[in-house]
Amino acid sequence: MILGARTVAQLSENLDAASVALSPTQLERLSKVSAPVVSDYPYGTAALEQRGRRLPGGR
């Protein structure tokens, strides 16, 4: 929860959100949709080729 209330009423609503209970199914669904997606951004396949490249004098 992010608190950013400007009024007492907003603060009360935000604090009430702490008592919301999600079912295991809801938690699983939220976990699935919020899982980070690792992509080749921003360099695409060029980045993939560079990741394993040995540098002269490097490790």
- Structure pTM? 0.45
* Residue 9 to residue 17: CA distance in whole angstroms: 13
* pLDDT for 49: 73
The DSSP output letter for 7 is S
* pLDDT for 9: 93
pLDDT in tens, 3-49: 688 999 998 988 898 899 999 999 999 999 998 877 766 667 777 77
Phi, psi dihedral angles at 8 (to 5 degrees)? -65, -35
Higher confidence at residue 53 or residue 23?
23
**Which tokens belong to 4?**
């950013």
Residues 6+ apart with CB under 8 A from 5: 11, 13, 14
Q: Which residue has the tokens 């295991």?
A: 24
